[in-house]
Amino acid sequence: MDTAILWRVAVVQALAVTALSLLLGLLLPHGFFEDWGWLTGPIAWLLCAWFTARFVGLPEAPVLVRAALAGIPSLLFVFVGLHWLGALVAVAIFALWCATLPRPLAGGTP
């Protein structure tokens, strides 16, 4: 496990999710998330994971698979009303799994 990758992925994903959540929260009414959160949440999560892969320099396809799998346990938190705790757990699982990928090739953003 590459701890440098783990921390880079964790920080970038957490910042990306936070920034996108704040932006969407400012632009869209609360009712939108009640009706469409089940769709927009996973899409936003995967978009942030794609950004993280590009920023850190990891291969996109394996990172997106890891993001999808890491998002599944967070559903349990959503069902009990702890959405943001679920997001934190998903970021941790995602970072751990990404840390098992080979080191990025030269050319990834430092």
So what's the pLDDT on residue 102? 84
Provide the residue ranges of all domains of the chain, joining segments of one domain with +: 3-98
H or E stretch covering 105:
none
So what's the pLDDT on residue 109? 53
Asked whether the predicted pLDDT for residue 87 surpasses 80, the reply is yes
Tell me the per-residue pLDDT of 60-86, one tens digit each, with 9 for 90 and over: 999 999 999 999 999 899 899 898 899
Asked whether the predicted pLDDT for residue 9 surpasses 70, the reply is yes
Handedness of CA 71, 67, 100, 52 (dihedral sign): negative
Asked whether the predicted pLDDT for residue 5 surpasses 60, the reply is yes
Residue with tokens 């992925």: 9
Q: What's this model's pTM, rounded to 2 decimal places? A: 0.87
3-state secondary structure of 101: coil
Cβ–Cβ under 8 Å, residues 107 and 9: no
